[in-house]
Structure formats: structure tokens, C-alpha cells
């Protein structure tokens, strides 16, 4: 096999997002001949966290690697799983001593695929520099992995764009997450790195980035911080399919948007 197909799924939000994965991931993998599935899961439990039970649920549906971001420690029950399970990642540029791992390597179709989780610093909590962290990790990973996929979880499009250019020719793909809005700038950079500013969201789109519209609007107007609730309607999957060759260069990147119907009980 000369190429490998890697599916990266945008931030899974609440039960609606998880139900899409449960009901439809298998058919998507067949449709696109997917070999490896990576998904951002940090919003999968109630929209703001992940639990060990939900992580294991998502693995059972066929996801190989779960990446996260700034909400990973909102539910601290995840710490033991982060320490014991290399297939769920927290951002690699969190400070030294934070539980968990920032990258892992899986072997699929006789290829070693490294998945790296990084988080941005603009309008986010202070963390170590993602650019310098990637340099350090790259020196460690490049002799061990044929393909390197980066989930860059960041707020600012400028920071994501800069990182894409920074990693061009070293990462096989740099795929942004966090903003829950899929961007239309997918491309192959000059030295062979697939890039997209944001993969998007898997969950309810009749919402404010997955959350109930009324409470979100109220918080913007009054700043009273009413607790967010996961919205219910217009469920969609956002993802990208990245095809890489055995030398670790991206051959193509394709945006995927799928609309579904869910029962009213999902929350």
C-alpha cells in the first residue's frame, strides 16, 4: 500500500456528537477507506470535558487516538486514564509534571504514525511555547515515525497559520481544532504538509458552537455566566481526510461535512 487514509474528526460535543460517532463512524470509514481515526474529545462530556467512561466509549466505536485541549482537566477523573492510556493525549506543551502524554505512536499497515497534541497561547491559559515544544518532540519522533499528525488546539487563526508554515515539511498534517467552526482553507503546503485552520465540530449545529443558543446569548449580554447546556438540534459531523504517502508527505486533504438526524433524547 503506497498511501494511508487518516480521518481527523472535529471537536465532539456532548451526547449528540457521541451518538453521531456511534451510529455513523463505521460507514464513514468504509466510504473513505479510512485506516486511522483521530478525534478531539475534550467537549464530549457535557460540552466541557471528558470522562474515563466516555473516552472508553469513543474508543469502542473505532477511534484510535483521542486528542484534547484546554478543557481536558475540567473533570479530574480523567487523570488516571491519561497516566495509564497512551491513546488519549493532553497538549504536549502543558508544563512539566502535568499528568499524561502529549504524543503517541501507533502502528497501522506497517507504518508508524505519530499523533501530537499541542495548544496555542493566544487568548488561552499560559502554557509552554508550542513552536519550541514541537521542535523538541520532532527531534525525538522523526526517527520513530513515518507520519506525524499534529492537532493544534488554538483560538487565533494567525497562530495556527504560523504554526502550519513552521511545521511544513516536518509534520505530515497540521489540523486546527478548538473554534468549532470548520474553515475552508485546506491545502497542501509547499513542502508536503496538509493544513487546515480548523477541522470544525461534531455535534448540534442549531447552537452557539454546540451550546444552547439562549444561555449563550444571555451570557454575552449580561455576563452572568449561566451554566451552558449542550444544544440538541441539527447534528453534523465535521472532519478532514488526509491521505499520506509512505514518506510522510500529504497527498491530499479533503473536508467532510455530514448531516444526520438524532432522537430528541440526546443531550
Confidence at residue 133, expressed as pLDDT on a 0 to 100 scale: 98
Beta-bridge mates of residue 208: 211
At 9, is the secondary structure helix, strand, or coil? strand
Which contiguous run of DSSP H or E holds residue 211? none
Q: How far apart are CA 95 and CA 40, in angstroms?
A: 20
Judge whether 66 and 88 are in contact, CB under 8 Å.
yes
Residue ranges in the chain assigned as alpha helix (H): 14-31, 52-60, 79-84, 130-141, 157-167, 213-222
User: What global pTM score does this model have?
Assistant: 0.94
Contact between 204 and 212 (Cβ < 8 Å): no
Cell of 219: 451570557
Can you tell me the distance from the alpha carbon of 236 to that of 255, in angstroms, rounded to the nearest whole number? Answer: 13
**Which of 93, 73, 253 shows the shortest CA–CA distance to 174?**
253
Domain boundaries, the chain: 3-204+236-259
Q: Please name the residue that has the C-alpha cell 469502542.
A: 60
Check if the beta carbon of residue 211 is closer than 8 Å to that of residue 233: no
Grid cell of 253 as nine digits: 486533504
Q: Which listed residue (35, 64, 71, 153) is catalytic? A: 71
Q: Which of 177, 195, 203, 197 is nearest to 72 (CA)?
A: 177
- Say whether 137 sits in a helix, a strand or coil: helix
Task: Provide the mean pLDDT of the chain.
Answer: 93
Predicted local distance difference test score (pLDDT) of residue 247: 94
Each residue of 22-53: pLDDT tens digit? Answer: 999 999 999 999 999 999 999 999 878 899 99
- Is residue 71 part of the annotated active site? The answer reads yes
201-226 confidence digits (pLDDT tens): 999 998 888 888 888 888 888 887 77
Q: What is the mean pLDDT of each run of 10 residues along the chain (267 residues)?
A: 94 95 97 98 88 95 96 88 92 94 95 98 94 97 96 97 98 97 98 98 91 87 81 94 97 97 56
Whether the Cβ atoms of residue 55 and residue 94 lie closer than 8 Å to each other = no
- CATH number given to 3-204+236-259: 3.60.21.10
Distance in angstroms (rounded) separating the CA atoms of residues 152 and 252: 19
Amino acid at each position: 500500500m503506497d498511501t494511508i487514509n487518516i480521518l481527523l474528526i472535529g471537536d465532539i460535543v456532548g451526547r449528540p456528537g457521541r451518538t453521531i460517532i456511534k451510529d455513523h463512524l463505521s460507514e464513514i470509514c468504509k466510504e473513505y477507506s479510512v485506516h486511522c481515526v483521530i478525534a478531539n474529545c475534550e467537549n464530549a462530556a457535557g460540552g466541557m470535558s471528558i470522562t474515563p467512561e466516555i473516552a472508553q466509549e469513543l474508543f469502542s466505536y473505532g477511534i484510535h487516538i483521542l486528542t484534547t485541549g484546554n478543557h481536558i482537566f475540567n473533570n479530574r477523573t480523567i487523570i488516571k486514564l491519561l497516566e495509564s492510556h497512551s491513546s488519549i493525549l493532553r497538549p504536549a506543551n502543558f508544563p512539566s509534571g502535568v499528568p499524561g502524554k502529549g504524543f503517541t505512536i501507533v502502528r497501522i499497515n506497517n507504518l508508524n504514525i505519530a499523533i501530537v497534541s499541542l495548544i496555542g497561547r493566544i487568548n488561552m491559559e499560559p502554557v509552554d511555547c508550542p513552536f519550541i515544544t514541537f521542535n523538541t518532540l520532532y527531534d525525538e519522533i522523526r526517527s520513530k515515525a513515518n507520519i506525524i499528525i499534529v492537532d493544534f488546539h488554538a483560538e487565533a487563526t494567525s497562530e495556527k497559520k504560523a504554526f502550519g508554515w513552521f511545521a511544513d515539511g516536518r509534520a505530515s498534517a497540521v489540523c486546527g481544532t478548538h473554534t468549532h467552526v470548520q474553515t475552508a482553507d485546506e491545502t497542501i503546503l509547499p513542502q508536503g504538509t496538509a493544513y487546515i485552520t480548523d477541522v470544525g465540530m461534531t455535534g448540534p449545529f442549531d447552537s452557539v458552537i454546540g451550546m444552547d443558543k439562549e444561555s449563550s446569548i444571555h451570557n454575552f449580554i449580561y455576563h452572568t455566566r449561566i451554566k451552558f447546556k449542550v444544544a440538541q438540534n441539527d447534528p453534523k459531523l465535521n472532519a478532514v481526510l488526509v491521505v499520506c504517502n509512505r514518506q510522510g508527505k500529504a497527498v491530499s486533504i479533503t473536508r467532510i461535512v455530514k448531516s444526520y438526524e438524532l432522537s430528541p433524547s440526546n443531550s
